[in-house]
Structure 1
């Protein structure tokens, strides 16, 4: 024993690290300590990540439940206009973005595991209301707006899930962990858009599954996701943990609104995640409006949205962890800058493909109403309609390829932008003192808590894009939804250009403080 080593210190150093409990509260958590991480941290963190992904995945599916079901309401006997349908798609995104703030603050207050249980059970409200009212075509439109708004609780799950998982992993693994967590949640959009048409008796899977002859049964989707929500709550209760180290008061978390980078990153996240969720929500209706015609349920020509609408969300979800990995390796700001450049190119490609479409002649509304009342009176599609729809169908592969390129860029940008946040706050802590000092350790602990709060605020603001994009496609003043898509994509391209410039000026420009910090 050396002269400076006490028996107590030697015993403490040799003491084994106690394994973390399988569920409930964990009092001691030091992921930055290599010994702790290898002994117990890695296994516990991964277990919590798995079940966090499950709950968040279901939350996203319920959040985007209306993105695909809105496009099926006409076949179920509802006579809503395209403008009304876009609002049903947009309202859950608005509510979800607003709920992300309280959901973020709930994790440090109540515990990540406890709040995952609560947030999963809250999904029973939108799924139950959906199941009941889609069986009643005489329900007023405003009731459906309220029902769609309740689906916003699923959007809140993302913020609480990310805030919780951020505490479990060391700084050099946060990018990949947050990317996987977010990707698992984002994939819920693709899953609901792929499986819902099949579950309810519609066609899907690129036409391999045919529509049921007995008609649509939309309520099945609500019943299924209600059951899955209960399963997620049970799994979270049995296998997840709360961290004492994550506890803080809402007032302490709200202090992050004073940092300018909180709002800069929120602005950039509107461009990445806002585009992902907004385009995911709008894509089924975009395909239906531009490439499909079905004046009566038994007669249709063109591209069926149910075959392809899920692809965008799937590509964006798969790309997200790749963006986190790239950010860990090359720096989040560089990858985010590249993502915005790719989004500009892809959006211009989508816009160009839309300008190549032929205008499809629209029947008189009185005739449409008569055909809907008596489908046997439908005389068939006019030659001009058939020619225009066939021409537009030939353009569809180019439209889809460009759109999927945009989705891939949003996914990469989502992962890299979220990785930038812990890096920014780590740079704040680095100025508190030398490595290993008490001041530095306290600053790093504070930075982790603040970064989790920022993740929630940024996620909340960014999700507003999910509301703004569908509304841009079909605002109350829009009389022609097809023409509106052209001007909408011009607006989006200009916005991405602004995001590109901001990313360079604040995080990459030579001499910028955050560029020196390697954000």
Structure 2
């Protein structure tokens, strides 16, 4: 084994072998992880910024139908899946440095657009759909960033490294949803434009500055691009685009895709649509609860306080991302398959618990409050088990596949699972929440069987 230290005279490293403890530059690996994680956090912010703004478009003066809003919230998921198919082949072609820097700059376009268009309710529907589509670039970045980072770490540490990167990146979802209600209230933070007026049922109109929720992130995106360009390096991986596609001849590629749809597809789908679903079931969009719009709206159920969805939607992504971070080091010690099994079983139970709350009982305020509590806790449990599975599947893939294929499989599975927001939005609007959640139980049961037979049982063909 060569003991030659990796040379770093230019962008591309030479003689880089993370499995060789004597020459592996651990400091460089962790610096790469933290810089790319910062960029990935901002990518998730850009991807899920529409989910924080879309539930408030009508109160801000737009007049879109429920179906139009679900489609708009689903669009970043559709585009993210498509963009991930592109980004998954970029690490060997562009390298970490160029890919992260360019992606960070591309995030600015959709973020700037949303900041401009929430100020006046004059944008046509197609334009907001275009902005929602461009927001998917943030989701696409995941399939490039994660394989790229895996090149820098030995297999024994990849569960921790990828779990930290993905988990902290996922915190971008909860961050943009958590901070938006606060950022919009600061007039002194209004970078450009004027205030808007928003009205909630039974409450007086309030001045807000929704552009703050978008513009605050743009300087950080530019900073991420500068840091990536000046501080990152790239690992040469010998795999052209044609060679990368040989992963599709491996049955485990398809099985791990099914498992990651169960975990990250669930996480991303719920994160994008959580606010709209809550508003439709227990909030201002349910005509059996609220009649009319704005300050003139009437709450039909005496004693019921309509929840402001923006105060709750960040909780789900926060729980899911936290679970991914906390369980990643554990998967390095125990293997990922057993936790994927736990994830699937947990999803079956938590989805079944949530289903009754998808049909609100509007006979009284007490029944609505009880239903809302069951809905909220059930959803948080779903996020928890999805987050555990997100960590465990990313531990499995580097163990199951050879190094060259592992990066491609990570990118591919992430690309397909990124369609979660799209399919969740379409499923809820066409099938209804109850039927769609029942399909989720069936999918999780299938994945539990796959995990046990192929990966988790004693003597499994591909333990990992």
Q: Structures share a fold, TM > 0.5?
A: yes
Q: Which has the higher helix share?
A: 1
What secondary structure, in the 3-state scheme, does the structure 1 residue paired with 2:329 have?
helix
Structure-2 separation of matches of 1:493 and 1:456: 25
Point out the structure with max Rg over C-alpha: 1
Q: CA RMSD in A?
A: 2.3
Structure-2 separation of matches of 1:131 and 1:353: 35
Structure-2 separation of matches of 1:149 and 1:284: 19
Change (3 A) 1:327 1:142: same
The CA deviation string for residues 470-491 of structure 1, in whole angstroms up to 9 with x for no partner, is 221123xx6xxxxx22222212
Answering whether residue 282 of structure 2 is matched by residue 306 of structure 1, we say: no
Q: How does 1:120-131 map to 2 (within 5 A)?
A: 120-131=104-115
With normalisation by structure 1, the TM-score equals 0.79
Shift of 1:175: 0.4
Q: How does 1:369-408 map to 2 (within 5 A)?
A: 388-389=364-365, 391-408=367-384
Select between 341-350 and 28-37 the one with higher mean Cα deviation.
28-37
State the match for 1:105 in structure 2: 89
Unmatched segments (≥5 aa) in structure 1:
1-8, 203-209, 360-386, 426-446, 479-483
Q: How does 1:62-211 map to 2 (within 5 A)?
A: 62-201=46-185
State the match for 1:419 in structure 2: 395
Answering whether residue 212 of structure 2 is matched by residue 220 of structure 1, we say: yes
Structure-1 separation of matches of 2:260 and 2:204: 41
State the match for 1:501 in structure 2: 449
Structure-1 separation of matches of 2:444 and 2:452: 12
Q: Is the 8 A contact 1:267 1:461 kept in 2?
A: no
Shift of 1:72: 0.7
Structure-1 separation of matches of 2:49 and 2:238: 33
State the match for 1:296 in structure 2: 293
Answering whether residue 252 of structure 2 is matched by residue 261 of structure 1, we say: yes
Instruction: Say which of 20, 29, 54 aligns to 1:45.
Output: 29
What secondary structure, in the 3-state scheme, does the structure 1 residue paired with 2:12 have?
strand
Shift of 1:247: 4.5
Shift of 1:214: 5.2
Instruction: Say which of 455, 463, 477 aligns to 2:418.
Output: 463
Answering whether residue 326 of structure 2 is matched by residue 322 of structure 1, we say: yes
Q: How does 1:423-462 map to 2 (within 5 A)?
A: 423-425=399-401, 447-462=402-417
Q: Is the 8 A contact 2:51 2:272 kept in 1?
A: yes
Structure-1 separation of matches of 2:275 and 2:366: 19
Shift of 1:227: 2.1
Aligned length: 436
Shift of 1:225: 2.2
Structure-2 separation of matches of 1:353 and 1:221: 31
Instruction: Say which of 341, 349, 352 aligns to 1:348.
Output: 352
Shift of 1:506: 2.0
Q: Is the 8 A contact 2:160 2:332 kept in 1?
A: yes
